[in-house]
Amino acid sequence: MSRLAWALAVLAAAPLAAWAPRPVRPKAPLKAAQAPQAPPQMPALPPQPAPQTFQLATGLSCVLVENHERPLIRMVVASRWDRSELPQGKEGIGGFLAMAMAAGGAGPNSHAAFLRALDALGMSFGFKARMGCYQWTMVADSRSQETAMELLADAVARPVFDGPLVEGQRQALLRRFASGSLRERAQARFLWSIDDPGTLLPPRAEAVDRIEYQDLLDFRRRVVRPENSTLVLYGDLNLAQARQLALMHLGIWGPVAQPAVAGIPPKAGTANVPQARLLAVLDSGPVAELWAGTSRPAGGGSPAAEALLPILLGRAAARCFGGLEMSFRLDQGRVLLIQAKVPAGDRDRLVAGCTAGLESLRRSGFTSEELACALLQWQAENASAPLHPGRMLDQILEGRLDPGLAQAVGRTTVKDLDQALNAWLDPGGLRFLLLGADAPLLQAAEKAGLAPSAVLRPED
């Protein structure tokens, strides 16, 4: 059979309906424009145990969060103090003491013996310090909770300082002052001037060189006290066990009366107070930066508004600071730090772009849509805190898990946020640091109303 005959036979055998064109299905009519939907709600997480609180007779506040999923326990002690407690002329004692406690012994153990005890028991210990707060953390198997609490209590209440080691640390600090780069010295000077909590050392070596060994001991007794401290226990233990641990190992840690010491006078509100506005650094680095910062102004806003401001400031960067690399940090409602960066080749637009952006942000404020998104993000971060024990403990210590704060955040309005924003961005309260400046950039700063109060050069 030829190919042509075979093809004709196939066509003849196929039903005619198979070759008929298929009907075109009519398209559904377009729906009318729908009203904008509310932002998606975060899925609910399983309920988490609420923090339980109690207090010892010594004034030590205690918080317990039970979590029996794994046989682990995390213990944190945070001691808070005020910057005004730093003795005048020896303002570096806060950072110096932090170094001494991090490298010192605890109770009957030297530093090396303390570390060996931790390794033998499989425990993890950490210490960190910020201006106004020392924090000790211990993570251990819940079956070793007695030993873990004993070691933690030794580190907090019974530290051991080795005189030669302390003097060696002082010399290391003095060498750091002498060897710091021009930018590092300028940054330290600026951050100290705005009371940045992460800056423990003043920009002057004399504030460390004058500290004596007895000053270190007296300052520790004065600021590390139970009535200024909080113990947080998280993990596989119940309330009765928590009370017993705290009372047995920290119950005898009592307040010690100390003579009054002339400290740094507390600052008044910074708004509309004449001060050194701009510190400039002349160098030829690859990046030019303009920092703006201020410590908490009078009427800086409610805690609820300040809880949302860090989220909103980041979202507003593209709207008000087009073309600049921006970062914002509002540290526990104490210090606002804004940083703008551009490549050195574009430094001519740095000052004008940043100052204009700050003024635009202050005048325009936030929108209701931005507030709704910020609320959703804040709620998501808080709801996920139990999944990250370290973050949850930080939130407890900072008061961010307070149910009253959550309710206040939910009631926050755009007007509340704009009021807080205007207080923080008041031009009279901001200080500035200009890094990577040249002569034209200094002229641009003066034109923008930021005449340099001090200029650091490579030869300084």
Neighbours of 62 (CB within 10 A): 22
Q: Order of strands, edge to edge, in the sheet holding 335-343?
A: 325-331, 335-343, 287-295, 431-437, 278-282, 454-456
- Is pLDDT above 50 for 35? no
- CATH code linked to domain 278-456: 3.30.830.10
- Give the pLDDT of residue 6: 54
- Is pLDDT above 80 for 115? yes
The span from the CA of 64 to the CA of 73, in Å, is: 11
Mean pLDDT of 32-57: 63
- Give the pLDDT of residue 451: 85
Could you tell me the pLDDT band of residue 264, with boundaries at 50, 70 and 90? low
Q: Give percent of the chain above pLDDT 90.
A: 50
- Is pLDDT above 50 for 42? no
- Give the pLDDT of residue 330: 87
The mean predicted confidence, pLDDT, of the chain is 83
Q: Which residue has the higher pLDDT, 49 or 182?
A: 182
- Give the pLDDT of residue 260: 52
Domain boundaries, the chain: 52-250, 278-456
- CATH for 52-250 (3.40.50.300, 3.40.50.1470, 3.30.830.10, 3.40.50.10480): 3.30.830.10
- Identical topology for domains 52-250 and 278-456: yes
Please report how the helices 368-383 and 414-424 are oriented relative to each other, as an axis angle in degrees rounded to 10: 90
- Give the pLDDT of residue 215: 94
